[in-house]
Amino acid sequence: MPDRPSDSASNGSLKIKRDLDYLMKRCRQMTPEEQSAFDAREKKLREDQARYKREKNLARLKTQLGERYSRERVGPGTYTIYHKNQRPVVAKLRAFAADIPAMLAARANLVLFGAMGTGKDHLMAHLLYLKLVLASPRKEQ
């Protein structure tokens, strides 16, 4: 049993380094078929991790927004336009939503303002769900 917490952390770091060194040596010795299979497994692993992260974030968002703004209640077609001035706003939001990944990459801002009860929260909740579902995961740096 380690005397200090840092001992276990350094032992874990050494194990990770040894494993990484082994994998790097092994990668250099792979045949093209093995490399292709390895790459396919790595790609599937990254996709599975991204899917897990999205599902986890969707569950957390649903908890934070509550039942009132659940994904089913703020989906497309659930917003009622009751005033002619809402049409251009909804059209602009649809254009924004259609290109969410590019908007995120450009760090575009969105500000909704208006009278109470006009559906700002409803529309924003829908955009949040779209962001989690449609946006590609950020590349790790």
Query: Which pLDDT belongs to residue 137?
Result: 52
Query: Which pLDDT belongs to residue 44?
Result: 92
Query: Which pLDDT belongs to residue 2?
Result: 47
Say which DSSP state 109 is in: -
> Residues 29-46: what's their mean pLDDT?
86
Question: From CA 52, how far away is CA 40, in angstroms rounded?
Answer: 18
Domain residue limits at 112: 50-134
Q: Is residue 17 one of the residues assigned to a domain?
A: no
Question: pTM of the predicted model, to two decimals?
Answer: 0.57
CB 125 within 8 A of CB 69: yes
Q: Is residue 29 one of the residues assigned to a domain?
A: no
**Mean pLDDT score across all residues of the chain:** 79
Q: Is residue 39 one of the residues assigned to a domain?
A: no
CA 138 to chain centre: 7
Q: Is residue 127 one of the residues assigned to a domain?
A: yes
Is the pLDDT at 28 greater than 80? The verdict is no
When divided into structural domains, the chain yields a total of 1
Q: Is residue 106 one of the residues assigned to a domain?
A: yes
Query: Which pLDDT belongs to residue 43?
Result: 92
